[in-house]
Every structure is written in structure tokens, then in C-alpha cells.
Structure 1
Amino acid sequence: MSEAELRSQLASLGKSLFDRGYSVGTAGNISVRLPDGYLMTPTNSSLGRLDPARISRLDAAWRHIGGDKPSKEVFLHRAVLTARPEAGAVVHLHSTYATAISCIAPEGGDAEIPPLTPYFVMRIGRRLPCVPYYRPGDAAMESDVHQAALAAKALLLANHGPVVSGASLVEAVNAAEELEEAARLALLLRDVPGVRRLTHPQVDDLLATFG
């Protein structure tokens, strides 16, 4: 896919996420890996109103070389994409249920979203680390995010929201949507007795089959 096509896809998928309430106002940001750099949503931009031509362009060293100024959380995307060389995109949202989980998950531990459905396991994996709270835009979180991303495709920023990677932009968006649905189910069923979770062998089978 050409850079122009990726820019158009980023704007289209950003609008889809915004229109369905996965981000509000200027919350959330997205990055896409290019052969020689990165695309990133601009700072203070709405995912629902992205202009493909103004999306930020960064070189391979993460220097801003074109388009509008990139998100203030560029270091967040750098932390994930350097930790996961197989990832082609990162989606950071403030989606309601995943953010709610980020407010109750233990900082520095794993979020308590049980394996209720196969697609959560297939798209997110076995672990969902919760990085300790940092002020939005605080580059000091980069090390903690990098360490968490080494072990997981997705993570939560405490009291902030989800960060999800994928092999492509479409895969990252699909995984972010799956995480939001899994978080909603986890909260809906939190106090319901007898909830059936996938067993360890079932989880192992899904991961062995789908990676």
C-alpha cells in the first residue's frame, strides 16, 4: 500500500472510531510504520476530522519532516513500535470500557480482563499489562511502555486508556475494538456468579493456532 493510500486509510478508520464513540474531542492518536519512517495523527487533532494531507510524517529517527506537528505522545508510539518490530501500527484510544478497566487495574500488573471469548485471546493475547500512571504527554513513561510492549500486543495506561498494536493498521484497529468489547463484557459480568471462562488448554490452543 502506498503512503497516499495509508494516509487515506488512517483518516477513514480514525473517523470510524470517532463516529462510534471510541474517542471524543481530540483524544486518541494513531501511528503507522512506513518503509522509511512513520505517519502519525497530529497534535490536538480529532480522529473524526483528519485531513490525509496534513497527517504528520516522521523519518526513521522519529524526526518530524512533514505535515502538521505530531501528537505530543509520539514517544508512546515509539516505545511500542521499537519493542515490537513486527507491528505496523499503534492505536491509542480513550474508549469508555477499556479506560474504565485502566482505572481499576493494578499499576505495574496485569488488567483483570478474563479470557471470555476466543477473539479476545486471538487479537490481544494472554496478557494485558497496566503501565503506572503518568501525566499525558510525559515522556518519562516511554521506558515503562516499552517494557510492557515487549511482552504484550496491547497494554493499558493507568487512568488513561488502551494502547494496541497490530501487524497492519486494520489489524490494530480491529484489536482495539475487540479490547473495548472484552472490557465491556468483563465489567458487565464482574459480579455475576458462575461466569464461564476459556480454560488454559483452550487459550493455549488459540494462541498456538492463531499466534
Structure 2
Amino acid sequence: MTESGGREEICRVGASLFARGYVHATAGNISVRLEDGGYLITPTDACLGALDPARLARLDADGRQLNGDRASKTIALHRRIYAAATRFDANTRCVIHTHSTHCVALTLQPPAGEEPELLPPLTPYFVMKVGHVPLIPYHRPGAPEAAEAVARTITRRGEAGAPIRAVMLERLGPNVWHDTPAAAMATLEELEETARLCLLMRDREPAPLSPAAIDALRASFGARW
């Protein structure tokens, strides 16, 4: 993606997410990895609903800022995601982080287990468009330990033959990645919608798709599950 195209797409996606309530106030950030190996990322404390293309932070391939407003502190996490995810999908070009309400709500009582996941396979489109979403234990915002945990999880899942395109930071929100900002936004939308459906069923245990149904999604659509 060109730099000018990346700037326009970050602002378009940010405005769309804000208008529809996927982000609020100054929470959330979006980055794009450029053709020269550098990055664009939303500035620190920026409202995604009111971004200026000319003020997005521009960084080089080593993460040094070249121009624009001060980069979001999450650039360290984004860079670790790109480094880990591109081992399994070289077209990983955009990372989106939000504090989406229903996703965060599901982590306020974290599930037990050695490597819990945010959601079971509830719908075919969640399985096809999102896939497994490992839950990363709580760390303060911007903590380097969170970036390390995310990178390890991406690497472990990829090396096991089950690459992921999203993780959930406990009490903070999801990080999703894809080849374009539009595709990353669609992944986030499907993830948040599935979390909302799960919460609507909290008075009953939602039944996941059967193994046979998931096998059919793998065979027909190449689902990552």
C-alpha cells in the first residue's frame, strides 16, 4: 500500500469505527505497514473519528518517527505483531486495536485454562472470517510484556499449523490484523458481533458448531480453525 493510500484508508476506517461505536473517546489505534517497510500509525490520544491524514505518525522500518504527531505508544506491540504474523502471512499490512465493548465485557471474568480463548466457534462466519482468538492475560496498557506474550502466541499458533489473525488483551480489547484496513475492520466487526451474541445468551450456555460443521467450513472455505 502506498503512503498516501494508507493515510486515507486509516482515516476512513477510523471514522467508520467511531461512528458505529466500535471505538470511543481516544481509545484504539490503527497502523499500516508500508511498501518500504516503514509504518503509519494513529497518533497518541487521537480520536479515531477525527483523524487528519497529514498528522498521522510516519515511522521508518526500525520504528523511528520521521514526521507527523507523536506515534501511539502501541507501535511497539504493532511492530511485534507484524514481525510474528508475516512469518505465516506475508501480506499482513494492517493492525487495528479497539476497546470494543462486548469483547472487553467477556474478559471481565476471564475463562480458566492454560491458553483460554475469547469465544467458542459459535457461527460459521466467526469461524471463517476470524478464527481462534487467544486471550492474553492482563498487562497495563503499553506494557512490553503484553507485546512479548502476543508475539509468542502468534508464533506458537502459526508453527502448530493454525495461524491466527486476532488476539484479545484481557480488559483492554482486541488486536486484529489483515492485508488491508478494510479487511482488518471486517474481521473486527465479525469478532465484536460474535461477542455480542455470546453475551445475549448469558442466561443459557451457547452451543458451539459441531466438529462436522467446522470440518465442512475448512473444506469449503479454508477456515482457520
By the TM > 0.5 criterion, same fold?
yes
Identity of aligned residues (%): 44
State how 1:1-80 maps to structure 2 within 5 Å. Answer: 1-36=1-36, 37-80=38-81
Pair 1:188 & 2:189 matched? no
Match of 1:198 among 209, 212, 222: 209
Partner Cα distance (1:21, 1:149) in 2? 28
CA contact (8 A) 1:40 1:55 kept: yes
CA contact (8 A) 2:103 2:195 kept: yes
CA contact (8 A) 2:122 2:209 kept: yes
Structure 1, unpaired ranges of 5+: none
Partner Cα distance (2:57, 2:18) in 1? 19
Indicate the residue corresponding to 1:158 in structure 2: 170
Match of 1:99 among 96, 104, 119: 104
Indicate the residue corresponding to 2:142 in structure 1: 137
TM-score, scaled relative to structure 1: 0.92
Partner Cα distance (1:157, 1:138) in 2? 11
- CA offsets per residue over residues 64-93 of structure 1, 9 Å max, x none? 112111101111111211111121111100
> Which deviates more, 69-78 or 147-156?
147-156
- CA offsets per residue over residues 80-135 of structure 1, 9 Å max, x none? 1111112111110001001111222337622341212111111111x211111111
Aligned residue pairs total 209
Structure 2, unpaired ranges of 5+: 158-163
Pair 1:117 & 2:129 matched? no
Q: What root-mean-square deviation, in Å, do the aligned CA atoms of Structure 1 and Structure 2 show? A: 1.7
Partner Cα distance (2:117, 2:208) in 1? 15
CA contact (8 A) 2:33 2:40 kept: yes
CA contact (8 A) 1:114 1:186 kept: no
CA contact (8 A) 2:2 2:35 kept: no
